Amino acid sequence: MSSGTVRDSVFALMRDAGMTTVFGNPGSTELRFLRDWPADFRYVTALHEGCAVAMADAYAQLTRNASFVNLHSAGGLGNAMGSVFSAFKNQTPIVVTAGQQSRALFPTVPFLFAQDATTLPQPYVKWACEPARAEDVPAAIERAYHMAMQSPAGPTFVSIPEDDWDREAPSVPLRRVDARVRASQEAIDALVQALRSSVQPALVVGPGVDRDDASDAAVAISERLGAAVYVSPFSSRCSFPERHPNFAGFLPPVRTQIVEALRAHDLVVVIGAPLFTYHVYTDGPAILEGTVVFHLTDDPVAAASAAVGTSIVSTLRESLDAIAHAIATMEPAYAQPVERAVAPLEASDALSGAAALQTLARTMPAGAIVVEEAPSHRSAMHDYLPIERPGTFFAAASGSLGWALPASVGAALARPSQRIVAILGDGSSMYAIQGIWTAARLSLPITFLILNNGAYAAMNQFSRYLGFTGAPSFALEGLDFVRAAEAFGARGTRVETTTDLEAALRTSFQAPLPSLIDAVLDDPVAAIY
């Protein structure tokens, strides 16, 4: 086994793993890693560590490979934790590294020392390690890579003392780990049997289907069975084309409403999502009594904590292919159409959130990727901006704000020839506004569309839903988004009508550069759920 420095070995390993883009924010404890930067590596500077991790998150989701993040000791990792939480909930593979002080200084509790470095990111990383010896760092990174990639995928963490990089270490070639998990034939047979005998089956698809690139199999199964297809509550990806005739809509994160939505079905198969994700408590059963429930998941925790039914743990691609194959000889059936088509808004210059989204749907280039974080507009988005293709919609599964703006930067880096549209609330955008600087520095074709209602409107929405009054104001006055965009080197435009929004969008889509559109809405607080 050849030997060089830790640094030689880690860079070789990263090359083998296809992790040649590093998202980070630097400090002195990372300098030995960053110096003499190899020409075949790209370093993406983020001005906040939460941005670095969110960029790496979308980049990993779109490249379907773990991404690599390098942060500055405890302070950098601390800043990143909101996005680490999101990556954990998104099940995105990211190898997060952070610099640590020199080993020889540990006993003196030096400046920048990350005390108990591996505890800080817990429990939102799958594995955290500060190797016992410098020469163990490459093997730790290799393990972090494999752990991050295995289902359920997620972030992992390695703390690296700064003096380790120049120490001698063996080279660690990347081993191949095939971690696909296949369900037993018996489990698949039972599910196929239930599908064959169901009168009115429903599929509930979650982000895991798109994550496993298995939407085509979900479409094939639904078409063969005539199964209505619902989207799981708060799904962070598009797993089923939303204009497909079998598409039946989005389940709300409320138990009683899910029961109601699925009432007509004798069989419900939840695929690639928890069963179910709730936001508010309501009493009653998780599903109508007598409904048969199956659950396909790659996440043992989701299987163990499902409210009802039979859970089958496997890689989704494998089990969906097996099911599609088993029912391929059945006569194709047609789903009973579900009444959900929402009438288009009448032409008007009034700029509501719904009108803005309808305008976007009309003007957005084919193949554009939408990254969303505009909490009070989520249901209007479902109604007026149907996502037609899996692989073109991303949101944070965590509900933690500050993800989408930098995630759109990671998406643009992964898909340089595609237009990225970040749909952002005015409040949400401010958690990570400095991500615009990275987009501007790298000339990325991102349209930041701010749905500006001048408030944390979701907080008002939710207060009303819960019947609470008397909270401090959730208004957000005095933010100037055009000047903010310009301060970071991007173009900014403010619009107040649908006509001006359409013009601004068309201009934005023509330039291969980032631009921000501040859409000032005239919007009453919409109902929630």
Ligand X SMILES: Cc1ncc(C[n+]2csc(CCOP(=O)(O)OP(=O)(O)O)c2C)c(N)n1
Catalytically active residues, by annotation: 27-28, 30, 49, 72, 279, 399
Measured from the CB atom, the residue of 155 and 375 that comes closer to ligand X is 375
**Is 48 near ligand X (CB under 6 A)?**
no
CA 71 to chain CA mean position, Å: 20
Measured from the CB atom, the residue of 224 and 377 that comes closer to ligand X is 377
**Is 374 near ligand X (CB under 6 A)?**
yes
Exposed, middle or buried: residue 49 (CB in 10 Å: 0-12, 13-18, 19+)? buried
**Is 354 near ligand X (CB under 6 A)?**
no
Measured from the CB atom, the residue of 120 and 459 that comes closer to ligand X is 459
- Could you say which of 56, 455, 495, 501 contacts ligand X (CB under 6 A)? 455
User: Would you give the DSSP letter of residue 177?
Assistant: -
Which residues from 74-113 bind ligand X, rule CB under 6 A? 82
> What's the rounded Cα separation, in Å, for the pair 267 and 137?
50
**Is 453 near ligand X (CB under 6 A)?**
yes
**Is 459 near ligand X (CB under 6 A)?**
yes
How many other C-beta atoms lie within 10 A of the C-beta of residue 145?
26
Determine which helix (DSSP H) or strand (DSSP E) holds 75, and give its type and residue range.
helix 73-90
In this chain, which residue has its C-beta nearest to ligand X?
Answer: 425
**Is 428 near ligand X (CB under 6 A)?**
yes
Judge contact between 80 and 87, C-beta under 8 A.
no
Q: List the one residue out of 312, 338, 317, 334 whose CA is nearest residue 194.
A: 312
> What's the rounded Cα separation, in Å, for the pair 71 and 120?
13
Is beta strand 201-205 parallel, antiparallel or unpaired with respect to 228-231? parallel
**Is 375 near ligand X (CB under 6 A)?**
yes
**Is 435 near ligand X (CB under 6 A)?**
no
**Is 377 near ligand X (CB under 6 A)?**
yes
Least Å distance, CB 429 to ligand X, is 7
Measured from the CB atom, the residue of 427 and 514 that comes closer to ligand X is 427
**Is 211 near ligand X (CB under 6 A)?**
no
Measured from the CB atom, the residue of 390 and 427 that comes closer to ligand X is 427
- Could you say which of 458, 484, 485, 495 contacts ligand X (CB under 6 A)? 458
Computed from CA positions of residues 113, 116, 121, 126, in that sequence, does the dihedral angle turn out positive or negative?
Answer: positive
The token duo for 360 is 């976007």
CA angle 182, 188, 190 (to 5 degrees): 150
Beta bridge partners of 249: 230
**Hey, is 499 helix, strand or coil?**
helix
Least Å distance, CB 350 to ligand X, is 18
Stretch that binds ligand X, among 18-26, 244-252, 317-325, 369-377 (CB under 6 A): 369-377
Stretch that binds ligand X, among 172-180, 359-367, 450-458, 484-492 (CB under 6 A): 450-458
Amino acid at 450: I
**Is 457 near ligand X (CB under 6 A)?**
yes
Measured from the CB atom, the residue of 125 and 380 that comes closer to ligand X is 380
Half-sphere exposure of 186 (CA within 13 A, CB side): 1
CA 404 to chain CA mean position, Å: 8
Stretch that binds ligand X, among 22-30, 69-77, 374-382, 497-505 (CB under 6 A): 374-382
- Could you say which of 390, 399, 435, 445 contacts ligand X (CB under 6 A)? 399
The token duo for 51 is 């941005």
Q: List the one residue out of 66, 165, 53, 160 whose CA is nearest residue 117.
A: 160
**Is 427 near ligand X (CB under 6 A)?**
yes
Least Å distance, CB 435 to ligand X, is 14
**Is 277 near ligand X (CB under 6 A)?**
no
Judge contact between 19 and 95, C-beta under 8 A.
yes
> What's the rounded Cα separation, in Å, for the pair 311 and 300?
9
User: Would you give the DSSP letter of residue 182?
Assistant: P
**Is 384 near ligand X (CB under 6 A)?**
no
**Is 233 near ligand X (CB under 6 A)?**
no
**Is 24 near ligand X (CB under 6 A)?**
no
Number of residues in contact with ligand X, rule: CB under 6 A?
Answer: 19
- Could you say which of 93, 138, 207, 402 contacts ligand X (CB under 6 A)? 402
Q: List the one residue out of 34, 8, 149, 132 whose CA is nearest residue 91.
A: 149
Judge contact between 237 and 394, C-beta under 8 A.
yes
Computed from CA positions of residues 10, 73, 30, 404, in that sequence, does the dihedral angle turn out positive or negative?
Answer: positive
- Could you say which of 222, 376, 392, 515 contacts ligand X (CB under 6 A)? 376
Half-sphere exposure of 252 (CA within 13 A, CB side): 15
Q: Residues 170-209 vs ligand X: string with x where CB under 6 A?
A: ----------------------------------------
**Is 426 near ligand X (CB under 6 A)?**
yes
**Is 265 near ligand X (CB under 6 A)?**
no
Enumerate binding residues for ligand X (CB under 6 A).
82, 374-377, 399-402, 425-428, 453, 455-459
